[in-house]
Amino acid sequence: MNRRLLILLCHIMVALTALAAGDTTGVVYSVVKMQIDHLPEMRIPRSGHQAMYVGDELVVMGGHTSGFVPTPTAEYLANNTWHTLNMVYTHDCGTCVRLSAGQILLIGGLERELGIGQTFTVERYDPATRTFQGFSCLDKKRAFASAAELAQGKVVIAGNWYNDDYIECFDGKSRSDSVKPVTMQRSAPVVLQVASDEAIIFGGIDTHGTQQFCTTVDCYRGEPFDVPLLGQWSPIFMVRGEMDFFVGDKGQGRYEYLVPAANADGQVGIIRVLGKQFELLGTACPIPMRSPWSEISYGQMLVDRKARRAYLVGFGKDTRLYVAAVDYGKASPTRGAPVTLYYSEPFNHPWIEAATALSPEGDLVVTGGSPNSNYTPFATVVRLHVAHVRAEQAGWRWIFWGGLLAVAAIGAVVVWGGRRARQQGNAEALEHDGQAAGRQRQELMQRIDQLMQERQVYLQPDFKLSDLAVMLDASTVRVSRCIKAERDCSFSQLVNRCRIDHAQRMMREQPDVKMSAVALASGFANETSFFRVFKSVIGLTPKEWLNLNA
């Protein structure tokens, strides 16, 4: 086979792979902007609370409100309105367990304002009647505990905050008893059911909030055992139920979980736990720890078992929300699981200690949290459309496989063609090479135009070529050359043209608006820059242009 044509075929395969990976790639992660819906604000600002969907109904429970005061209330969202419920006790940084019978068990929490003390309290939420019932008492005061349900409704509980830890068990009826001591004191450990009547306890921070790398795993019934991996990866501090991490099938006795963890350098990964076996889940690339705008801090993880996707939810100092989606259902032994980083537009406050729930549609709903202080929680609720974005991306797979089949067909023709075909191939390959490059540029330019027109990325004053390249999963050189070839301008000229178009539309629709407001709303850093660019592009000052087009 002609060597040049062989190289051309390889180039086409790489190009098609890159095109198919425009939103999900097995080599590098993709960056995708999320659609955000603002839902009605909760009636009570909350932080340290629990949030979950009970059936189709979003419910938030407990936490503390303004002034760092625990609130004995819950709320549910129905008909686009929040409705307040009275709880029996307060559960600020308490534990929440979904019971197989359909009810919700709430356990312990901080005793009083300012996050002081622990409580004995246990109550149950019945979604059928939307009522809370206090009916039991813990054997040990607890806050920042974790729990898992076993057979016959028994619940294993471990973990504590500024108090001694001990493994205890709620009998499923009304009594809770201490069972055995722990090998290491922990807050917010991971508690997972690994057999019908067995649970394991590991990870977590110490009882005073310091991250620890402990290789010992405690067992509810059995003896402790050692996992060397936990000496390198420590589960991320978060008070979540085991079902947020469950990916197995309890009906078939397969107790499998995905647990978020971080190493000593702060890099986040995912530990796969199958029974008492631990391994690091392979991913196509490391979990992204920063975006084009900010470093990312992850605080929660939820698993969509239907879509076979794990979502790490985080925030940045830039006040954006971030979601690192790991498609564990598409993991391969050699390439790992594909990773996608979703991001939002900046909000007017940072997101710390928010509670996230997975909706029945597969989207994420973020509720409450604190901007910078436990004394000033907020009531904001937003829906992050990660499920819909995923559906839009699926079509690229057909392009990839179709392109791959086309390449295979071309290869077959070349291999089995005659000597005459090989001779003609040299000239045809050169022509085809240029055509393929042109098509790739056009397709990349279409994606650039989409980002500019539909997502209006140019409205960000600090938007850079490197930011655009990350969003496109392409190099800055390739993006710059594409813009030059397709639009005969530089990246900055393209961005400024979009900003000027936006400013002109704004001035037509709002002729009385101040020019300083137009400048800032169009993505310019200041009014001086706006006037300078407008004059260079249009040949007139903004006011001169407005007078001619009023």
What pLDDT does 19 receive?
A: 41
What pLDDT does 241 receive?
A: 59
What's the CA gap between 76 and 357, in Å, rounded? 13
Dihedral Cα 206, 350, 356, 91, nearest 10 deg: 60
What's the CA gap between 231 and 184, in Å, rounded? 14
pLDDT in tens, the chain (550 residues): 454 554 445 444 444 443 443 333 334 678 889 999 999 999 999 999 999 998 889 999 999 999 999 999 999 999 999 999 999 999 999 999 999 888 999 999 999 999 899 999 999 999 999 999 998 899 999 999 999 999 989 999 999 998 889 999 999 888 999 999 999 888 889 999 999 999 999 987 777 777 788 899 999 999 999 999 999 999 986 655 556 889 998 888 899 999 999 998 889 999 999 999 999 999 988 999 988 888 999 988 999 999 999 999 999 989 999 999 999 999 888 888 999 999 999 988 888 889 999 999 999 999 999 887 789 999 999 999 998 554 334 333 434 444 445 545 555 444 445 454 444 544 444 445 567 778 888 889 988 988 888 778 888 888 889 888 888 888 888 999 999 999 999 999 999 999 999 999 888 888 888 888 888 888 888 888 899 999 988 889 998 888 888 6
Q: Which residues pair with 274 in a beta bridge?
A: 256, 277
Q: Which residues pair with 167 in a beta bridge?
A: 180
What's the CA gap between 242 and 98, in Å, rounded? 9
HSE-up of residue 75 (Cα within 13 Å, Cβ side): 21
What's the CA gap between 429 and 538, in Å, rounded? 44
Find out whether 76 and 57 touch, Cβ atoms under 8 Å.
yes
Q: Where in the chain is the domain with CATH 1.10.10.60?
A: 417-550
**What are the structure tokens assigned to 311, written together?**
């979502």
Strand order in the sheet with 234-235: 234-235, 256-262, 268-274, 277-280
What does each C-alpha distance from 206 to 54, 214, 457 come to in angstroms? 32, 10, 43
What's the CA gap between 325 and 282, in Å, rounded? 14
What pLDDT does 237 receive?
A: 66
| Fold annotation for 417-550 | Arc Repressor Mutant, subunit A (1.10.10)
b (16+ CB within 10 A) / e for 317-356: ebbbbbbbbbbbeebeeeebbbbbbbbbbebeebbbbbbb
Query: Can you identify the CATH homologous superfamily of domain 88-279?
Result: Kelch-type beta propeller (2.120.10.80)
- The DSSP H or E segment spanning 11 is helix 3-20
**What are the structure tokens assigned to 448, written together?**
């650039």
- Whether the CA torsion 147, 238, 285, 33 is positive or negative: it is positive
* DSSP string covering 90-125: --BT-EEEE-TTS-EEEE--B-BGGGB--EEEEEEE
- Whether the CA torsion 536, 538, 539, 545 is positive or negative: it is negative
**What are the structure tokens assigned to 410, written together?**
């071309």
Q: Please tell me the pTM assigned to this model.
A: 0.67
At residue 244's C-alpha, the angle toward residues 203 and 85, to 5°, is: 115
- Over residues 186-235, the pLDDT tens digits come to 888 999 999 999 999 998 777 777 778 889 999 999 999 999 999 999 99
What is the Cα 283 distance to its own chain's centre?
Answer: 15
Find out whether 60 and 44 touch, Cβ atoms under 8 Å.
no
**What are the structure tokens assigned to 430, written together?**
């050169």
| Long-range own/partner contacts, residues 321-324 (CB < 8 A, 24 or more apart) | 321/34, 321/36, 321/347, 321/351, 321/366, 321/382, 321/384, 322/288, 322/291, 322/296, 322/298, 323/34, 323/364, 323/384, 323/386, 324/29, 324/268, 324/287, 324/288, 324/296, 324/298
- Over residues 226-271, the pLDDT tens digits come to 999 999 999 986 655 556 889 998 888 899 999 999 998 889 999 9
What's the CA gap between 95 and 239, in Å, rounded? 7
Find out whether 225 and 235 touch, Cβ atoms under 8 Å.
no
Q: Where in the chain is the domain with CATH 2.120.10.80?
A: 88-279
What pLDDT does 91 receive?
A: 94
- Tokens 């149950």 belong to 124
